[in-house]
Amino acid sequence: MTFEGATDRLDHLKTWDADWAGLRVVVAGIGLSGFSAADTLIELGARVVVCDATDSEENRAKADTLRIVGAVEVLLGAEPAQTLPDVEGSAPELIVTSPGWRPNQPLLAAAAGSGIPIWGDVELAWRVRVREGRPTAEWLTITGTNGKTTTVTLAESMLRAAGLRAVAAGNVGTPLLDAIRDPQGYDVIAVELSSFQLHWSSSIAPLASVCLNLAEDHVDWHGSFEAYRADKAKIYENTQIACIYNVEDPATERMVEEADVQEGCRAIGFTTDTPAISMMGVVDGLLVDRAFIEQRKDSAAELASVTDLGEVVPRHLVANALAAAALVRAAGVPAAAVRDGLRNFSPSGHRIELVAARDGVLWINDSKATNPHAADASLSSFHSVVWIAGGLSKGVDYTDLVRRNVTRFKAVVLIGKDSSDLASALARHAPDVPLIHPAAGHTGKDGLPVENSNSDGVLAMRAAVSESLRIAEDGDTVLMAPAAASMDQFPSYDRRGDAFIEAVRGIVEGQGFTAKEL
C-alpha cells in the first residue's frame, strides 16, 4: 500500500467500529498516553510497534503488560527511538506520538519526511469516541499557558453537580483514551489540552472551547512564540456552540476571531470585572452570566458568590471559575449546579498553597508556577515577598515579570542548576533587590554555613528555605513560585513542591535538620 493509499484509509477511520484491523502503527513513547494509545490500538486490531528511549524497569513492566494484552513489539533504548521502525516487515501507515516528543525528534522527523501521518493520542481518542452500544460524550476543551488543571477540575465539579456523568481527562488525571473506553461511558468529558497535544490534533470538534490566557512558554519545544500561539489557537477550530475567551487577554479574543468554527458558534468572554453582553463576569462579589440567558441585553443571572471558592480567593482563580462556568453553561448546566460545583471544588496541590503561618510570615507553595505568567499571578496576590525562584527556564524571557513585580520583592532566593537568565533580568531591572543564591554558600539563621550542591534539589530547597527564614519578617510572604520547570533538580513540580513543604516543616516549624543535612 502506498502512503497515499494509507492516508485514504485513515480518512475513513472515524469511529471505534471502523476497519482498524491490520493497520500498521508505531507508537512513540510508553508513558501514560503512549501506553494508553498502544493498548487501544491493540484492542482495535492494529499491528503495533512501541518505541521509547528509556529502557527502565518500569517501562519493561509496561512492555510485558502490552504483550499480554495482544500482539505488539516494544523497542526500548536510545537507538530504537532514533530511527523509524518497520511494522511486521513493512513501513508504518501511521505514527501515534506521545505529546512530549518534539517534531524534530529523529523518529518523528523521519516519518514526516516519508509522508507518514502523525497523530497524538487526543486525535486518536476523537476518532474512536463514537462506539456502537455506548453513549458518545461531548467534549469541553481547555487550554492556556496557566490555569488549565484548575479550570478543567472546576468544570468537572460543576458537571457532576448537574447530575451528569463527567470526568476531567487529557493532560490531567485520566488519560483521554481510558475515559473514551470506559464501559459505562460519559455524558461530558472536560478535556485539558497542552500545546503539545494540540500540535498533533486536527479533527476535534468540541461542544465548547477556551484558551484561558497566552504567555511565552515552551518556546524550546515549538521553536518560536508564534508557533506556540498557533498551536494554542487550534483549541477553537471546529467548535460547535461557544468559543470562550479571556477579555483581559486580547490575544485569546483574536484567536477566536481567526478560528474556523461551526455555523452558529458564539464568542463568549469572561472577565473578573463587570461583564458586557455575551460575557461572564463579577458584580458586587457575585459571579454572573450575561451570555447564556434570554434577557442578556439588560440583565444577568447570578451563578455563585466569589466566597463559594473559599475565604481567600486570588483573582486568577475567579477567572478560572468563570471560564469553567462558561464551558458548562454552553453544555446546558443550570446556574445552581455552577454554585454547587464551586462549593464542592477542592483545589489541586502545589498551587498557591498555604504551608505555614508563623511569626507573621506566610509560607506559600506555588510549585506549579512553571513559567513567568503563572508566577506573575502568584506574585500579584501578595505585597512584600521573599521570592524563591529559578529552575529550567525553557527559553523564556523574565524581563516583564521582574519589571511588573519589582516593588513587591523584599529579596529573591535562587534555586535551580542554572538560573542565570532570571538572575540577569533581576540584575538589570531590580538591582536594589537582594539576590541570594545559597549554592554559593551563605550563613543561615542558626549561624551555620548553608552550602548546597545544585545537583541535589532537596538540599537546594532546604538551603533556600533557611535563607528565606533569615530574611522574612512580620508581614512578609515567602513565596516559592519558581517561574521555571522543575526537571533540572526534581522529577516533577509536585516533587519540588513536596521538597518545599518538607523544608518549611523541618526548618520553619522547628523539627529541624542537622548542619550536615543542610
Task: Show me where the domains of the chain are located.
Answer: 3-123, 134-344, 353-508
Please give the distance of CA 351 from its chain centroid, rounded to a whole number. 12
- Is the domain 353-508 a CATH 3.90.190.20 member? yes
Which amino acid belongs to residue 338? Answer: V
Residue with cell 497524538: 120
146 is in an annotated binding site: yes
- DSSP secondary structure string, 420-454? HHHHHHHHHH-TTS-EE-GGG-EE-TTSSEE---T
| CATH H-level, domain 3-123: superfamily | NAD(P)-binding Rossmann-like Domain (3.40.50.720)
The per-residue pLDDT for 453 is 45
Is 150 part of any known ligand binding site?
Answer: yes
One digit per residue, pLDDT tens: the chain, 518 residues?
Answer: 455 556 789 999 999 999 999 999 999 999 999 999 999 999 999 999 999 999 999 999 999 999 998 989 999 999 988 999 999 999 999 999 999 899 999 999 999 999 999 999 999 999 999 999 989 999 999 999 888 999 999 999 999 999 999 999 998 878 999 999 999 999 999 999 999 999 999 999 999 999 999 987 777 787 888 999 999 999 999 999 999 999 999 999 999 999 999 999 999 999 999 999 999 999 999 999 999 999 998 899 999 999 999 766 888 889 999 999 999 999 999 999 999 999 999 876 777 888 898 999 999 999 989 989 889 988 988 899 999 999 998 788 999 999 999 999 999 999 999 899 999 999 999 999 999 998 655 433 433 334 444 558 999 999 999 999 999 999 999 999 999 999 999 999 999 999 999 999 999 877 544 333 33
CATH 3.40.50.970 fits 134-344, yes or no: no
3-state secondary structure of 413: strand
Do 109 and 119 form a contact (C-beta atoms < 8 A)?
A: no
Q: Is 149 annotated as a binding residue?
A: yes
Q: Which residue has the cell 513536596?
A: 498
CB-count burial class (<10 Å; 0-12, 13-18, 19+) for 148: buried
The rounded distance, in Å, linking the Cα atoms of 269 and 7 is: 38
234 is in an annotated binding site: no
Q: Which pTM does this prediction carry?
A: 0.78
Distances (CA, A) of 207 to 52, 155, 187, 213, 264: 34, 13, 12, 20, 12
**How much helix, strand and coil, in percent to the nearest 5, is found in the chain?**
40, 20, 40
CA of residue 235 relative to chain centroid, distance:
14
The verdict on whether residue 145 carries a ligand-binding annotation is: yes
- Cβ-contact 410, 383 below 8 angstroms: no
